C-alpha cells in the first residue's frame, strides 16, 4: 500500500462529495430573460455542488479548524456499525458562517453499502435540510470508485441528479451531471492544500424560467482545494434557445476572473 495522508476510507468519503462546477459570474449581456436565466442557473448549480465537494474535503481533514473562528458549528461523524456505512457532516439547524464567507446549515450524508476500498464500490450522497446562503440543496449523487487510472491517479465516475431551490422565492434549478473526477496532485503528500482535481464530462438541467440547457466540459476543469474557484478549464453551455456560451475559467491562477464568449464576443467578469 502507498503511504497516503489519509486513509482510503477518508479519501473515498471526501471524494464522494466532490461535485463538478464552473465559475459564478454576473449575467452575460444578452437580449432575452430566458438566455440570462439559463446562464445563471447552469453556473450557479455547478458552483454550488463544487463548493459542497471542496468544503467537505476540507472538513474531512480539518474538521472545525477550517471554520471561521466564531463558527464552531460543524460536527463530523461516522457510523460504521452496520450497512450502509455513513459519514455525516452536520452544520447545525441555524446558519453557520464558514471560512469561505458562505452560510450553511443542515446535513450532508454519504453512505456506502459495501467495502469502501473496493474498486467499483458505489457511494451515495444525499442532503438533509441542507442550505447554502439560504438556497436549499436537494437530490442524490452516486460515485463509483475506479481505482487508479493509467496515469496512476485515483479517479471516480460521478452521476448527479440535484436541484437548488433559490432563497426568497427565486425559483428552482434542476441539474444533472455525468463526470469523471481525477485526483492529479496531492495524493501522497501530508498537506491538503495541494490537492488538485481534474474534471471532465457533461451536464444538463432546467433554469428557473423552465428553459432547458446542456453543458459540455471541452477542456478539463481544474480545481485546487486552496482556491475557491476553478483555476482553469472551458465549458460550453447550450440553452434550448439562444446563443451558445463558452465559459473560460482562467489560465491557472487563483483569482475571481472568468470570461464568457457569446456570439464571438468575449465578456470578462469579476466574480463575487
For the cut 50, the answer to whether the pLDDT of residue 38 exceeds it is yes
Give me 153's grid cell: 491517479
Indicate the pLDDT class of residue 115, thresholds 50, 70 and 90.
Answer: low
Greater pLDDT, 43 or 148: 148
For range 245-252, the mean pLDDT:
90
Give me 7's grid cell: 486513509
Question: Which pLDDT tens digit goes with each residue over 214-227?
Answer: 999 999 999 887 77
For range 15-35, the mean pLDDT:
38
Give me 269's grid cell: 467578469
Question: Which pLDDT tens digit goes with each residue over 149-189?
Answer: 999 998 888 889 999 999 999 999 999 999 998 889 988 87
Are 153 and 172 within 8 A, CB to CB? Answer: no
- The mean predicted confidence, pLDDT, of the chain is 77
For the cut 70, the answer to whether the pLDDT of residue 32 exceeds it is no
Say what the pLDDT of residue 4 is.
42
Strand partners, 171: none
From CA 87, how far away is CA 192, in angstroms rounded?
19
For range 58-81, the mean pLDDT:
60
Indicate the pLDDT class of residue 106, thresholds 50, 70 and 90.
Answer: very high
Alpha carbon dihedral 43, 23, 153, 107, in 10-degree steps, equals -60
**pTM higher than the cut 0.85:** no
Half-sphere exposure at residue 237, Cβ-oriented, CA atoms within 13 angstroms: 32
Q: What angle do CA 49, 141, 104 make, to 5 degrees?
A: 40
Greater pLDDT, 45 or 99: 45
> Looking at 36-50, 199-213, 231-245, which range is the least confident one?
36-50
Amino acid at each position: 500500500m502507498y503511504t497516503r495522508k489519509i486513509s482510503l476510507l477518508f479519501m473515498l468519503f471526501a471524494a464522494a462529495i466532490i461535485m463538478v462546477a464552473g465559475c459564478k459570474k454576473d449575467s452575460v449581456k444578452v437580449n432575452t430573460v430566458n438566455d440570462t436565466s439559463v446562464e445563471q442557473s447552469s453556473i450557479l448549480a455547478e458552483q454550488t455542488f463544487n463548493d459542497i465537494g471542496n468544503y467537505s474535503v476540507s472538513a474531512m481533514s480539518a474538521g472545525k479548524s477550517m471554520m471561521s473562528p466564531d463558527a464552531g458549528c460543524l460536527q463530523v461523524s461516522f457510523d460504521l456499525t452496520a450497512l450502509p456505512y455513513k459519514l455525516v457532516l452536520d452544520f447545525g439547524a441555524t446558519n453557520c458562517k464558514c471560512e469561505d464567507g458562505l452560510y450553511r446549515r443542515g446535513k450532508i450524508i454519504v453512505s456506502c453499502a459495501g467495502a469502501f476500498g473496493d474498486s467499483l464500490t458505489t457511494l451515495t450522497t444525499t442532503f438533509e435540510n441542507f442550505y447554502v446562503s439560504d438556497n436549499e440543496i436537494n437530490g442524490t449523487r452516486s460515485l463509483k470508485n475506479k481505482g487508479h487510472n493509467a496515469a496512476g491517479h485515483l479517479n471516480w465516475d460521478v452521476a448527479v441528479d440535484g436541484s437548488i431551490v433559490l432563497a426568497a422565492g427565486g425559483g428552482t434549478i434542476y441539474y444533472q451531471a455525468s463526470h469523471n473526477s481525477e485526483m492529479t496532485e496531492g495524493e501522497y503528500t501530508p498537506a491538503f492544500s495541494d490537492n488538485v482535481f481534474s474534471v471532465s464530462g457533461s451536464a444538463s438541467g432546467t433554469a428557473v424560467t423552465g428553459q432547458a440547457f446542456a453543458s459540455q466540459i471541452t477542456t478539463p476543469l481544474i480545481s485546487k482545494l486552496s482556491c475557491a474557484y476553478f483555476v482553469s478549464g472551458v465549458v460550453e453551455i447550450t440553452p434550448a434557445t439562444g446563443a451558445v456560451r463558452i465559459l473560460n475559467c482562467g489560465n491557472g491562477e487563483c483569482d475571481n476572473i472568468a470570461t464568457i464568449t457569446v456570439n464571438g464576443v468575449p465578456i470578462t467578469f469579476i466574480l463575487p
